[in-house]
Amino acid sequence: MPTAVLLIAHGSRRAAANADLDELAAMLRAKNVAPIIETSYLDVAAPDIPTGAKACIARGADIVKMFPYFLSAGAHVVDDLQHYQRELSTEFPAVEFVVCPHLGLHPLMVQIVLDRLGEALSPSAVD
């Protein structure tokens, strides 16, 4: 059963902000995380979540892991993604849609924060 990863970000009017998700998708593809990796956005940018899910299905996915690229479990993660999961499951009953945990306070997040703080405090950041 082909598994797809549908990366989901909030979306921005700034193309550079949305490009981060495309870059993440490319990195995951390079690591062969899943045979199908698509991106989608909750708001403002395209493709939206239903369009991203349909792209996964068109490529043969039987399971779509909906990965919320969000730091906190706010209303978007808790309510909106569950709504889309239910809606898509009803429309495509032969496909399993799974909402993955958001980024949150994963133990590796501390190292990421420390790395970013170090970058901000480096001599080149002051220039």
Q: Is the pLDDT of residue 28 over 80?
A: yes
Neighbouring C-alpha atoms within 13 Å toward the C-beta of 112: 8
Mean pLDDT of the residues in the chain = 93
Q: In what order do the strands lie in the sheet with 3-9?
A: 36-41, 3-9, 63-68, 96-99
Residue 74 binned pLDDT confidence (cut-offs 50, 70, 90): confident
Task: Please tell me whether the overall predicted TM-score, pTM, comes out greater than 0.85 for this model.
Answer: yes
Task: Return the pLDDT at 73.
Answer: 83
Say if CB 63 and CB 28 are below 8 A apart: no
Task: Return the pLDDT at 124.
Answer: 66
Does residue 77 or residue 38 have the better pLDDT? 38
Query: What domains can be seen in the chain, in order of their start residue?
Result: 3-126 (3.40.50.1400)
